[in-house]
């Protein structure tokens, strides 16, 4: 299930997303003493992270964990860990606790047990999960027809190893680690950030069909839990 929010421009979308995240983190800290935010890479959330990083929050009480990761070292240009370190974990937000996915293992499959152990130490439910969507209908690293997708969609664990089918969207980085649909959907709030007419068309296509293997974002959009879709041209 989704709630669709349309904004006049991307600046308005960013402001609304930052406000929603700050409210969620503040409420969690007030109620439970800590907050957990699940974060994605990509161009859509980058301005959100830069604005959020400057907010006056008790960042030492916030955990920041990745939604997914390419199986590259943190200093690689394609690393989501490096991306989050550069754009979110700066200024006041540098005090947040970061939980990454990449291990020293050669493959995501070999590193899955260690990654799962890291995420098992996190709360049962995150407070907010920030998602994006590709033009192929993937979200997180839930890629169409990927090796490991069945387990990522239906498994009871928090993390799953994925080998995507190479495409223009994946580039050379087909080896991935991702959160499972179950853990994404367990978050108290989910924000799916989209920009541009192409992404709106992909969203409408995803909502119109039911084949989750073809467009795995459907597992999130069509679940009983509500996901807030923020879109701007």
- Chain centroid to Cα 211, Å, comes to 21
If DSSP codes are grouped into helix, strand and coil, which group holds residue 174? coil
Q: What is the pTM of this model?
A: 0.95
pLDDT digit string, tens, across residues 202-233: 999 999 999 999 999 999 999 999 999 999 99
Tell me how many degrees the CA angle 203-208-210 measures, rounded to the nearest 5: 105
Phi and psi angles of residue 38, each rounded to the nearest 5 degrees, phi first: -100, 130
What are the two backbone dihedrals, phi and then psi, of residue 6, each rounded to the nearest 5 degrees?
A: -105, 135
CA gap 213, 34 in Å, rounded: 35
- Residue 208 is predicted with a pLDDT of 96
62-106 pLDDT, tens digit per residue, is 999 999 999 999 999 999 999 999 999 999 999 999 999 999 999
pLDDT, averaged across the chain: 96
In degrees, to the nearest 5, what angle opens at C-alpha 137 toward C-alphas 190 and 107? 85
Burial class (CB in 10 A: 0-12, 13-18, 19+), 204: exposed
pLDDT category of residue 8 using cuts at 50, 70 and 90: very high
pLDDT tens across 155-181, in order?
999 999 999 999 999 999 999 999 999
Matching residue, tokens 């993937």? 138
Which residues lie across from 159 on neighbouring strands? 179
State yes or no: pLDDT of 154 exceeds 90. yes
Nearest CA to 39 out of 98, 114, 90 is that of 98
In angstroms, the CA 73 to CA 59 distance is: 25
pLDDT at residue 43, rounded to an integer: 83
Res. 146 pLDDT band, cuts 50 70 90: very high
Tell me the average pLDDT across 7-11. Answer: 95
- Is the predicted pLDDT of residue 44 greater than 90, yes or no? no
Cα–Cα distance for residue pair 50/140, rounded to 1 Å:
20
Q: pLDDT category, 119, cuts 50, 70, 90?
A: very high
Q: What is the pLDDT of residue 201?
A: 96
Q: Is the pLDDT of residue 42 over 90?
A: no
Closest CA to 62 of 109, 12, 97, 17: 97
Residue 60 corresponds to which tokens in the numbers above? Answer: 């030492």
In this prediction, residue 228 carries a pLDDT of 97
């Amino acid at each position: 299930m989704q709630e669709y929010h349309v904004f006049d421009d991307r600046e308005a979308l960013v402001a609304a997303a930052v406000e929603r995240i700050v409210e969620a983190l503040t409420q969690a800290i007030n109620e439970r003493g800590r907050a957990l935010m699940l974060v994605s890479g990509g161009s859509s959330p980058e301005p959100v992270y830069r604005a959020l990083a400057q907010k006056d929050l008790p960042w030492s009480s916030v955990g920041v964990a990745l939604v997914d990761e390419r199986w590259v070292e943190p200093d690689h240009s394609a690393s989501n860990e490096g991306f989050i370190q550069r754009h979110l974990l700066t200024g006041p937000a540098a005090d947040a606790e970061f939980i990454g996915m990449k291990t020293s293992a050669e493959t995501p499959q070999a590193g899955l047990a260690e990654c799962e152990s890291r995420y098992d130490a996190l709360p049962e439910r995150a407070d907010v999960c920030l998602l994006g969507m590709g033009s192929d209908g993937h979200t997180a690293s839930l890629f169409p027809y990927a090796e490991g997708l069945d387990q990522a969609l239906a498994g009871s664990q928090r993390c799953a190893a994925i080998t995507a089918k190479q495409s223009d969207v994946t580039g050379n980085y087909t080896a991935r680690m991702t959160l499972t649909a179950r853990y994404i959907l367990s978050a108290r709030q989910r924000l799916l950030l989209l920009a541009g007419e192409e992404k709106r068309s992909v969203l409408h296509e995803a909502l119109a069909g039911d084949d989750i293997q073809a467009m795995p974002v459907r597992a999130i959009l069509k679940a009983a839990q509500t996901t807030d879709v923020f879109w701007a041209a």
